[in-house]
Amino acid sequence: MGFRGPFTRWLIGSANFLVVMNTAVQGDVIAIASDHAGFSLKVILREDIERKGFRALDLGTDSLDPADYPKIAESLALTVASGKARFGVVLCGTGIGVSIAANRHLGIRAALCHNVETVRLGRRHNDANVLALGARVIDEVTARACLQEFLVTEFEKAERHSRRVAMLDKAVNGTLL
């Protein structure tokens, strides 16, 4: 289906499953979430988000107590996909688990990044809307630089990049054809 008011509707496969995604994105809101392993770094990055003039929407966890990363990533993914936040930042020990979990949601393009170059390319070429970081595998300085790059880099709207990004949502029903 096409654009209808503030919502975009997607018909997935032949299962008559309708997903409604809000396209009226909150441009100044950045969602951030972590499991216990990413908690300390999340606090630092949340402060950076706010210092840069954005509103940080902290989706947890709120302590070093064990937390299940799939639930944390799902909460963030649904928030970004619904348009309640422009971007998301999600953390766990390696970033692998949260990136896998977030990418299971339609409209989410989570990029697991370890340096500024991977962030830059993830935004420019893949229109990444979620930055996944591993708190146990990158240091604070690198994580902060990655966040900065994520927030300032725009998607290159070249036809080849737009075409490939569109293919990602088509893959939800199992085929790119």
Q: What is the pLDDT of residue 3?
A: 28
Distances (CA, A) of 168 to 17, 110, 148, 164: 18, 12, 25, 7
Q: Which residue has the tokens 């100044």?
A: 28
* Residue-level pLDDT at 27: 74
Catalytically active residues, by annotation: 125
Q: How confident is the model at residue 164 (pLDDT cuts 50, 70, 90)?
A: confident
The pLDDT mean for the chain works out to 86
Percentage of the chain beyond pLDDT 70 is 81
What confidence tens digit (pLDDT) does each residue in 6-22 have? 333 333 333 333 333 44
Residue 24 has pLDDT above 50, yes or no: no
Domains of the chain: 26-165 (3.40.1400.10)
- In Å, how far from its chain's centre is CA 61? 17
Q: Give the pLDDT confidence of 53-94 residue by residue, as tens digits.
A: 999 999 999 999 999 999 999 999 999 999 999 999 999 999
Q: Which is more confident, 134 or 12?
A: 134
